[in-house]
């Protein structure tokens, strides 16, 4: 629901960012008494961005792509019994940027302008959804909100800027056995 990166174009700079709309990864859940559970996920997403800067009579471009790994650790509470069970969850999440690669053509950008400011971040997570039980499968659509403690990107390119969002909303669908 929320892009990973936020861009602002400058007078001489055009910045575009793409966040793949899918997040994939495994989940593990330990069920406890009274409808409680502890859940741990390893979620992967891919992102990329392009910067084109016009400097007097030259154009310089930067293309970059990377991966963001998110590791939420949640306490979950299910309500009701039966095949349809609403739930809420809350906890902490850790985010790690990996595999950042970039290609520069034309004049070089400042050496560290395109690097993440902090490749590791942590934040608070809260969410809710419904678990649907069908035979051996459990399908759990959920809306999850994460508030990150720091921006992982915060770069300025000739008046334009590239920032990671500290408020993140996601629609996830979990499929478990």
Whether the per-residue pLDDT at 115 is higher than 80: the answer is no
pTM (2 d.p.): 0.85
User: Which structural domain, as residue segments, surrounds residue 25?
Assistant: 5-176
Q: Which residue has the tokens 């990377």?
A: 66
Render pLDDT for 134-168 as a digit per residue (tens, 0 to 9).
Answer: 889 999 999 999 999 988 877 777 667 888 889 99
Domain total for the chain? 1
How is the chain split among helix, strand and coil, in percent rounded to 5? 0, 70, 30
Q: Which of 104 and 28 is assigned the larger pLDDT?
A: 28
Paired residues of 50 in beta bridges: 16, 63
Confidence at residue 9, expressed as pLDDT on a 0 to 100 scale: 85
Dihedral of CA atoms 34, 38, 39, 40 in degrees, nearest 10, equals -170
Q: What CATH number does residue 59 fall under?
A: 2.40.160
Task: For residue 119, name the pLDDT band (cuts at 50, 70, 90).
Answer: confident
Render pLDDT for 44-94 as a digit per residue (tens, 0 to 9).
Answer: 999 998 888 877 767 788 888 999 999 999 999 999 888 999 999 999 999
Other C-beta atoms lying within 10 Å of the C-beta of residue 89: 20
């Amino acid at each position: 629901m929320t892009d990973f990166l936020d861009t602002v174009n400058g007078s001489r700079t055009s910045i575009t960012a793409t966040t793949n709309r899918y997040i994939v990864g495994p989940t593990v859940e330990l069920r406890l008494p009274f409808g409680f559970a502890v859940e741990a996920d390893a979620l992967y997403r891919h992102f990329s961005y392009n910067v084109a800067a016009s400097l007097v009579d030259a154009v310089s471009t930067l293309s970059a792509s990377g991966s963001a790994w998110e590791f939420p650790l949640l306490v979950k509470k299910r309500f009701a019994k039966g095949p349809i069970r609403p739930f809420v969850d809350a906890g902490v999440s850790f985010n790690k940027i990996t595999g950042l690669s970039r290609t520069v053509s034309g004049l070089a950008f400042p050496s560290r302008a395109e690097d993440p400011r902090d490749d590791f971040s942590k934040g608070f997570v809260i969410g809710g959804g419904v678990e649907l039980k069908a035979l051996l499968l459990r399908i759990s659509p959920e809306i999850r909100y994460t508030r990150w403690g720091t921006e992982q990107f915060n770069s300025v390119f000739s008046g334009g800027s590239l920032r990671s969002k500290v408020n993140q909303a996601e629609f996830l669908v979990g499929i478990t056995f």
